[in-house]
A and B are shown apart, each in its own frame.
Chain A
């Protein structure tokens, strides 16, 4: 084809398109969901494929999680052998990040250490210098080896030769055998690791520890994606049938590396909701786009036949279609790219906890993005072309009268679009009510006049104050501040993401919290914690400073282990291990059951929690203060009181609990708002589409109606006839389509299994009533001046 023709076509297309506001609007509508979904894709892929680990082959590793109720942890050691026996091609690896003391002569810095089992060659982690061979699953008792991180090498050794030198760590000599790749930061998203040491050497390096997994331990499964998939399918059955592990424990896997499962769940839940909303919007816009595109075909084919008369060959006409479709793809691509920042804003508002500077746009290269778009739009074109060629080109009649197949086609499209609208409105309403419920959820605490103070205790003084009653002293001082109603200490401040664990058992030696390992979430609080935070007691009351053998549990724990029992009979045993590894048991009496406190927000179900008395400060506490003072006055007063203690507190921060709740609510409100906007967009555009389709059909059928009326049919009969025809097409398509859509929505866990039929039926009936009313009013108007259509 000549460049002249191409240029002509481009100019003509540009002129035509710039005047075609409906097309521009639809392109915009198409671009918004596409750009949001692209953003979500970028975020989840950067979240799920963390480049900070230096891993190249992400598909070969899965996070392996033992889940009991709402508690997630790494899987226990004793499960590893049975798993490997059953799936010999898989490997279980552990990772634990912690801090250790350097014991060199010149300094005694604390450095960040990551214990990692191995699998470097499988994962494609290649040493920057030296070799990681010695770190690949070394046997117990082998010489201590380590790989240091690139940044540690730069800062500590200034890039000098270090391979085969000795790192004095925790009083032991560790040989540096490699430098980790430059892009390795840590295996745990919250750490910046300096030194990597084989997991099997943890016991050698640190005495007095057990090989038990800790809340900070991650377990991973290594293997080909097929084997991982097979494991994921059959693990649960195998574990419960052959290993007789209790049914409460579930083995789950996810793609995240070094991310706490509950955080992962929270974020992926929000990402899911985003994907739902904007997928619905995309499907809807997709359908309207096709409808629009098909609708344009009549005038387009007229144009093409006139061009044929002017001497355009078939090839040239085909070329014109190709040019125009390409231009449309380019237009959509440009609009999508222009709208990407808006999409980013929307996504950001819902995932404030994701650090967006981590999101690496260039990794999902720009070309890939355009390719995705082109594929998507080419698909639309192909579908449209198919529809056009198979159904429509034959329908272009000579006269003004609408043909049966034109009517059929319009009604089918209308039915399909409305069925999408019905389902999307339904899902949106469900989402809205779920979000609304969350926002109205009883948090179990009161935000009014509540403040959280956090502080840092210098490490050197920590031992000084242990075993003294500094805690009690501190609380008393604070409560003496005027207008302070109560003050209390806790290890787990609301929204602080901190948790503490102890090993609790029931009297019949049942571990509390998890059947695999006995890490129980346990808070240490001062007696008036519950008053200070405004929690209410279901049973009993709080302990006092004196009652050191009493504990309070939350409602979840009570329901799980003591349901129906009297407080009097409720006891728990705490087990501790002393320096020589001997286990000691301490019995505690439960004297109160407190309503669940949702310290991580309403969408995170609280664990079973034990509240025990804190008798001394450990430095990780936060202070909850109930005070009618304003924030500034309170902060000054608290600072003053803290200074009267002989212990030096640093970095005092005071935050109102209300503001934390607000921050936590933000993403939910954003989801709420987006859902409402998406639903409104869908509703309004389907109303407009419905009205214009009905109007067009009635307009084109006006002559037929008029003839019928002339022949003696009443207005009502004419209308009923048309309505029956519409419903005969509408009802089966809508029901079938709704059924299919809900089926897939259920499969993808987009909606709850107990579908709210009343809502669904009411929406459907409303839509049917609307479309019938539109039809009746339109026909009625036409029949009023029916004579016009006959003369």
Chain B
């Protein structure tokens, strides 16, 4: 079983349009799919789930998403606390409304000691932005004499990436719905040996059967992580 599963939740709007519903209905259905996936991950021993809510490059139709995000955190937080689920958010939070920033910060704080499972939500996230902010962080540490300039290498950059909030920063599998075949600037640094699973299903229709397919595909691959067979 992969310890870390990453998901690009694509297709909410298309799902709604296919049914003659407003986009908001698609996003709400998407939240239900996410809830189901979180339960499955907890049950089946996955330790970390990272989901790409939306990109730093895509601030269209965001107002409704902000409200939905706020509503979801408020309704799910107590459940997450009781089930030992830790919530983390990665991405450029400075662009989020102040109320949402405070809510997220509070949720992260109240669940930081939970260890059964970690849900990482990437909001206004960009893989390139993640690398650049890691470099800024290191620059600050060099300035403060915490780190020497000669010690700057890829390991140091990895420690400063936003995914260092978890013990398992490298996803074993990346699932993208709606049959799009790209990573769209998500977790660029972290995906070197991640198995890609691109599935035709739209995100609101992604359920247990599709997740089993993805995990079966992951388990069947011979993974060498760049090493040769001895």
Are both chains from one complex? no
B positions within 8 Å CB-CB of A:
none
A positions within 8 Å CB-CB of B:
none
